[in-house]
Amino acid sequence: MSIESTNPATGETVETYEEDSSADRDEALERAEAVFDEWREVPIEDRQEMLARAGEQLRENESTYAELMTEEMGKPIAQSHAEVEKCAWLCDYYAEHAAEHLQDDRIASESDARTLVSYEPIGTVLAIMPWNFPFWQAFRFAVPNLAAGNVGILKHASNVPGCARAIEEVFREAGCPEGAFTSLLIGSEEIDEVIADDRIEAVTLTGSSGAGRSVAETAGSELKKTVLELGGSDPFVVLDDADLELAVEKGTQARLINSGQSCIAAKRFIVVEDVYDEFLEAFVERMDEQVVGDPTDEDTDVGPQAREDLMETLDEQVQETVEQGAECHVGGEPMDREGAFYPPTVLTDIPEGSPADREELFGPAASVFRVPDEEAAIEKANDTQFGLGASVWTEDYARGERVARRFESGMAFVNELVKSDPRLPFGGVKASGYGRELAEQGIREFVNEKTIWVQHQNGEDDGLVE
């Protein structure tokens, strides 16, 4: 069978790839298992050097990779360039800090014993990754795991096969041993079988809550660890003392990044009564000003949705919410032009239980809620199945931190949009998943945290350097 890469801005076929056969899949798993024994013994300093070279490879070919992303899934080209650079930054970060994050932890116990925790690789980790940040999501998995001594199998989204192959090429050109990082072009129907394979030790997925439940069920039945980064419907809370100009500027950016197709995009704007009208007027105006168009144009703010069916799903959610009584201030239906284009959309007076209230709107549609005060804002922010990120806007920093601590989320930001950063752990709670990526916490997710006890005899030390 073949996999077609389609440009969502034009509907044209970019390229056709042959799907990997069951024999190809088996060979990749066998090769990964074999190379693990070699890769785990490579000094971590050498693994870090490989990551540094991967960062160089990304920067040297930034335009090629950026154009590929934009062509396959419609990301505005300026954001594609930024994504490649962010992946290079990730490589730089672990090239510098991986050894520090994985060094033994000495823990005091008995006076005549040396006790510590070592962090050792576990084997082959399967990553099931989405299309919306086709390079970043995959690198966020691959870089810390390769640094830790694990090997990786990537099952990327079916609409970005070219990106999947390009990512594999980056590591190969950086000197990663054959089989230490492999991209498999296979269908989703094969995932359960791969997860259950004895050669897979752990699984990480970024995707929908439904996909997360399915993967967790299969992996759990095999007693394999999982890390899940799932959907989000992040609250963007505007308090009565917020800098409204900043909140509108950042709110527009936070809602429309990646043409609205981001798990951590601000989706529910919760605004206190005292500043609601002023915020809404400015926000609607700013959303309406954004340039929707050709994603290869540097001046484009919002490109197409990644697939026609995804745009149709978003439109169904918007239309159902309006039919239930919501008001649409701008946008609200697919654009009359070639390609899967949906305009920036703002909904208010949203009925409780409607799609815009309860579901994740994965596209450039913002839900704006009016609440009487801070306490009601916090209550509304937490009134969701999701718990990925959240932000609060106020000129009182102490107040902002107090509110941030009350959010039921894996990440909380004060006067800043929710974002990922290699130096900080990333992940959610509730239906947004569990486990963490990035930073020290991320590199330690798929390792064996082994307790080692060295008993000293007759008061002698163990001869090991402290």
Q: Which of 71, 168, 263, 374 is catalytic?
A: 263
Angle at 2 between CA 304 and CA 33, to 5 degrees: 105
Contacts for 253 with CB less than 8 Å, ≥ 6 apart: 417
Contacts for 81 with CB less than 8 Å, ≥ 6 apart: 62, 63, 66
Could you give the CA distance from residue 86 to residue 133 in angstroms, rounded to a whole number?
11
* Whether 353 contacts 359, CB under 8 Å: no
Q: Which of 62, 229, 374, 408 is catalytic?
A: 229
* Whether 268 contacts 278, CB under 8 Å: no
* Whether 284 contacts 276, CB under 8 Å: no
Tell me if residue 229 is catalytic.
yes
Angle at 63 between CA 62 and CA 68, to 5 degrees: 100
Residues labelled catalytic: 229, 263
